[in-house]
C-alpha cells in the first residue's frame, strides 16, 4: 500500500453508494460491501449506503460525504444520473462524469463513437422500442449470418443477451427481448477468445481471458457463479497482439470520455484481431470481478486498487 496515497484520505468521509434499483442491484451490493470493507481495513472513515430508491438521495446528503464512491451498476449508477446529482450537490465522486457515463451505458452510441475513432467493433443494427423488429432481424440474418447476437441497448452484466443460431429462434428471442427491454440491437457474432481490458487511470492493465466452463458465452451466470468461468491473466495471446489490444482498449475508454477506472470488453477472432464491444464505466468490484483480477496481475492488491480509485475521485 502506498502510504502517501492513503494519507490523502485522512480525515475524509467516504460514502460508498451501492444497491440501486436496476437488474444488477445484488451485484452492486456485493461490490459496495467489498469497497467499504477495503476502505475500513485501511483506516479510512467509510460509510456504506444503500441507494434503494430515489427518495433516499436526501439521506445521502445528510451523510455529509467528502467523496461518494459509486458502486452502482446499471441505472442509476452508470447512466449519469448519480453523477449529475453529485455535480449539483458539489460532491466529489469516483468514476466517469455524466456524459461519459451515459455513453458507456448506451451500446448504440458507444459503437458509433468506436467507429468514428477507428476502433474495431462488430457490425450492428439498432431497433427502437415500438419499432417492428422483424425487418431488422431479417436484415441482420442476411448481412451477418448465424450465429448472431441480440442484446438490450442499455443493460449491463450481459442481462438480456442471447446468441441466436437459427431463424425461428431469432424471431422468438428477438420479440421477447424487444418487448422486455425496448431499444435493442442485433450484432454480428465474432467467434474467438472472450477478453477484457481493465483501465486504471491512463493505463491498461494486463488483459484477462475468460473461459466459461458450461455457458455458451460470458453471461450473467458465468460472471457471478463461483467456478463457472476460468480466468486467465495474462491472456494467452502473443505479446505484440496484447500490447495492440491494450492500446486500442485505452483509446476506446478515452474516446467516450471515461476517467479513473473501467473495463473494456472485446472479442479476439481467429487472427487475434480485437473487436471491442462496450465500455463499463463502473465495473464490478466483487471477489469474482475482472478488474481486481487484472489489478492483481499488475501487482496491485484489492485494497490498493480501492484507495487509488478513491484518491482519483478526490482529484488530489
Domain of residue 269, CATH code? 3.30.470.20
Domain of residue 131, CATH code? 3.30.1490.20
Residues 238 and 115 in one domain: yes
User: How many domains does the chain contain in total?
Assistant: 3
66 given a catalytic annotation: no
Residues 87 and 228 in one domain: no
Residues 27 and 52 in one domain: yes
- Selecting among 78, 106, 219, 265, the annotated active-site residue is 265
For residue 94, the tally of other CB atoms under 10 A from its CB is: 26
**Strand, helix or coil at 262?**
strand
Residues 109 and 225 in one domain: yes
Residues 279 and 183 in one domain: no
Residues 109 and 169 in one domain: no
Residues 45 and 91 in one domain: yes
Domain of residue 55, CATH code? 3.40.50.20
pTM of the model: 0.92
- Selecting among 280, 289, 302, 308, the annotated active-site residue is 280
265 given a catalytic annotation: yes
The pLDDT score that the predictor gives to residue 290 is 93
Which residues of the chain carry a pLDDT beneath 70?
A: 1, 157, 214-225
- Selecting among 224, 259, 289, 302, the annotated active-site residue is 224
- Residues whose CB falls within 8 Å of the CB of residue 299, separated by 6 or more in sequence, listed in order: none
The 10s digit of each residue's pLDDT in 229-288 is: 889 999 999 999 999 999 999 999 999 999 999 999 999 999 889 999 999 999 999 988
Structural domain containing residue 156 = 124-188
The pLDDT score that the predictor gives to residue 2 is 78
Distance CA(59)–CA(47), nearest Å, equals 12
157 given a catalytic annotation: yes
The pLDDT score that the predictor gives to residue 172 is 93
- Selecting among 12, 153, 259, 263, the annotated active-site residue is 263
Residues 134 and 272 in one domain: no
The pLDDT score that the predictor gives to residue 219 is 56
**Please, are residues 275 and 117 in contact by the beta-carbon 8 Å criterion?**
no
Q: What is the DSSP string of 165-179?
A: -SHHHHHHHHHHHHH
156 given a catalytic annotation: no
CA 302 to mean position of chain CA atoms: 18
Residues 72 and 208 in one domain: no
The pLDDT score that the predictor gives to residue 122 is 98
The pLDDT score that the predictor gives to residue 70 is 98
Residues 180 and 195 in one domain: no
154 given a catalytic annotation: no
**Please, are residues 142 and 203 in contact by the beta-carbon 8 Å criterion?**
no
H-state helical runs in the chain: 3-7, 25-41, 57-62, 81-89, 98-105, 107-116, 134-144, 167-181, 220-224, 239-255, 290-297, 302-314
263 given a catalytic annotation: yes
172 given a catalytic annotation: no
Residues 109 and 216 in one domain: yes
Residues in the chain: 316
Of 188, 208, 243, the position where a domain reaches its end is 188
Residues 51 and 88 in one domain: yes
Amino acid at each position: 500500500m502506498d502510504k502517501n496515497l492513503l494519507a490523502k484520505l485522512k480525515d475524509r468521509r467516504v460514502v460508498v453508494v451501492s444497491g440501486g434499483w436496476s437488474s444488477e442491484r445484488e451485484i452492486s451490493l456485493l461490490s459496495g460491501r467489498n469497497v467499504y470493507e477495503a476502505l475500513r481495513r485501511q483506516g479510512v472513515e467509510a460509510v456504506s449506503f444503500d441507494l434503494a430508491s430515489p427518495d433516499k438521495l436526501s439521506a445521502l446528503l445528510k451523510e455529509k460525504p467528502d467523496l461518494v464512491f459509486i458502486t452502482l451498476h446499471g441505472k442509476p449508477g452508470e447512466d449519469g444520473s448519480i453523477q449529475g446529482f453529485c455535480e449539483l450537490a458539489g460532491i466529489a465522486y469516483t468514476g466517469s462524469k455524466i456524459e461519459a457515463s451515459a455513453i458507456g451505458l448506451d451500446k448504440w452510441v458507444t459503437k458509433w463513437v468506436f467507429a468514428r475513432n477507428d476502433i474495431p467493433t462488430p457490425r450492428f443494427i439498432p431497433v427502437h422500442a415500438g419499432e417492428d423488429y422483424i425487418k431488422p432481424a431479417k436484415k441482420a440474418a442476411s448481412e451477418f449470418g448465424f450465429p448472431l447476437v441480440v442484446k438490450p441497448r442499455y443493460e449491463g452484466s450481459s442481462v438480456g443477451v442471447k446468441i441466436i443460431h437459427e431463424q425461428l429462434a431469432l424471431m422468438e428471442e428477438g420479440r421477447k427481448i424487444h418487448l422486455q427491454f425496448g431499444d435493442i440491437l442485433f450484432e454480428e457474432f465474432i467467434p474467438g477468445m472472450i477478453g477484457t481490458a481493465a483501465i486504471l487511470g491512463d493505463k491498461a492493465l494486463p488483459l484477462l481471458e475468460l473461459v466459461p466452463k458450461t455457458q455458451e458465452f460470458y453471461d450473467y451466470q458465468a460472471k457471478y457463479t463461483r467456478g463457472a468461468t476460468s480466468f486467465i491473466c495474462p491472456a494467452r495471446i502473443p505479446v505484440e497482439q496484447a500490447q495492440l489490444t491494450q492500446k486500442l482498449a485505452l483509446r476506446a475508454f478515452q474516446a467516450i470520455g471515461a476517467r479513473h477506472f473501467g473495463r473494456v470488453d472485446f472479442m479476439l477472432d481467429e487472427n487475434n484481431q480485437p473487436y471491442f464491444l462496450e465500455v463499463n464505466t463502473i465495473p464490478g468490484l466483487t471477489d469474482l470481478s475482472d478488474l481486481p483480477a487484472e489489478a492483481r496481475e499488475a501487482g496491485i492488491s484489492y485494497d490498493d486498487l480501492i484507495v487509488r480509485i478513491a484518491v482519483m475521485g478526490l482529484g488530489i
